[in-house]
């Protein structure tokens, strides 16, 4: 059986999907890079399978066997970085890709090929569960994604988890066939698996194309009261998750750019739903942070003011007095009561 055309088609479609993903603004460049890297792994894996079983090229078998270890981490990380504060992003990526690199190095030392099959199946299973767990946290957890893409990304998580589960089943069946010395059956399963991958890559292409065609919301889209409330809630979740309010240089322009929404829409949403301007809104998060420090630490009021994002001690005292109807020192002594 000539199995190369099917893996070759998978290679082409995965490459196309990766190219489309590369053009999408998810809200973070690193998320785009991770998703594109995932499709590159799928494309390279399909090509190496075709070379091995279609033309008997066996020199690259170690690479072909190790590549799947990176598929799960890359797919998971693409979503995870959109729900992770910026300070933790590099550590998160280093941790998961570091584990994949370590696992890929094991076959030549501790594991045989059968052991590697088990590690790959475990990797797919763990990351399918991890993606599903992210999905369960809801759309508001994707605080660093473009606002208009959050819904589509949330739905894509289920497809991604399903893809990894399908890969567990396919790879396990192929590994069992090889273990039973049924090479002919394994080749058939590779062909059937390639057909399934082609279908999934086609779906990925359609989804990526729809992402790329997504238009940013127009100002008129925020005329409805529900839209205003949704945007304000998104701002609250974003500020809470990233603690961007601790930056004393934070401006409405910078906040709007980080949220990937028009500045005037963000300002209007906060003004209409909270009856305050953006500066007052951000100060509310700063004051809540300062109040926690006053209750829970022995730091000086001056240090707490600086750590909470206030440029001057006098401004902190004035804003705290206005919000809590008492001075920071009195609040520390008496608490909220």
**Per-position DSSP letters for 283-327, written without gaps between them:** HHHHHHHHHHHHHH----HHHHHHHTT-S-HHHHHHHHHHHHSS-
The whole-chain average pLDDT of the chain stands at 80
Contact yes or no for 10/41 (Cβ under 8 A) = no
214: left (phi over 0), alpha (psi -120 to 50) or beta: beta
Over residues 86-106, the pLDDT tens digits come to 778 899 999 999 999 988 887
Spatial separation of the C-alpha atoms in residues 101 and 31, rounded to whole Å: 20
pLDDT band at 175 (very low <50, low <70, confident <90, very high): low
Q: Record the pTM.
A: 0.61
Residue holding tokens 């008129």?
220
The whole-number pLDDT of residue 107 equals 56
Spatial separation of the C-alpha atoms in residues 43 and 13, rounded to whole Å: 8
CATH 1.10.287.130 fits 219-334, yes or no: no
Same fold for the domain at 5-213 and the one at 219-334?
Answer: no
Spatial separation of the C-alpha atoms in residues 170 and 166, rounded to whole Å: 6
CATH 1.20.1070 fits 5-213, yes or no: yes
The whole-number pLDDT of residue 4 equals 45
Spatial separation of the C-alpha atoms in residues 271 and 277, rounded to whole Å: 5
Q: Where are the domains of the chain?
A: 5-213, 219-334
Contact yes or no for 265/275 (Cβ under 8 A) = no
Contact yes or no for 219/261 (Cβ under 8 A) = no
């Amino acid at each position: 059986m000539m199995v190369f055309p099917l893996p070759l088609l998978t290679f082409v479609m995965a490459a196309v999907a990766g190219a489309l993903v590369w053009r999408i603004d998810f809200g973070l460049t690193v998320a785009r890079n991770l998703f594109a890297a995932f499709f590159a792994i799928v494309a390279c894996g399909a090509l190496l399978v075709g070379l091995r079983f279609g033309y008997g090229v066996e020199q690259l078998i170690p690479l072909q066997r190790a590549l799947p270890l990176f598929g799960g981490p890359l797919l998971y990380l693409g979503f995870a970085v959109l729900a992770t504060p910026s300070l933790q992003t590099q550590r998160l990526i280093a941790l998961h890709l570091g584990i994949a690199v370590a696992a890929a190095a094991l076959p030549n030392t501790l594991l045989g090929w059968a052991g590697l099959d088990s590690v790959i199946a475990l990797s797919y299973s763990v990351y399918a569960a991890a993606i599903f767990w992210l999905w369960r946290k809801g759309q508001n957890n994707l605080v660093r994604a473009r606002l208009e893409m959050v819904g589509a990304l949330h739905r894509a998580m289920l497809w991604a988890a399903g893809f990894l589960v399908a890969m567990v089943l396919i790879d396990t069946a192929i590994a069992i066939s090889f273990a039973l010395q049924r090479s002919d059956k394994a080749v058939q399963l590779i062909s059937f698996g390639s057909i399934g991958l082609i279908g999934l890559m086609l779906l990925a292409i359609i989804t990526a194309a729809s992402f790329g065609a997504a238009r940013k919301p127009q100002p008129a889209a925020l005329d409805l009261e529900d839209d205003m409330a949704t945007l304000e809630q998104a701002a609250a979740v974003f500020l809470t998750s990233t603690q961007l309010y601790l930056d004393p240089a934070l401006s409405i322009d910078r906040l709007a750019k980080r949220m990937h929404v028009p500045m005037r829409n963000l300002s209007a949403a906060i003004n209409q739903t909270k009856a305050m301007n953006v500066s007052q809104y951000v100060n509310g998060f700063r004051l809540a942070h300062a109040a926690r420090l006053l209750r829970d630490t022995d730091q000086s009021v001056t240090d707490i003011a600086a750590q909470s994002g206030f440029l001057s001690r006098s401004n902190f005292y004035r804003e705290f007095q206005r919000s809590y109807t008492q001075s920071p020192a009195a609040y520390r002594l008496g608490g909220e009561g």
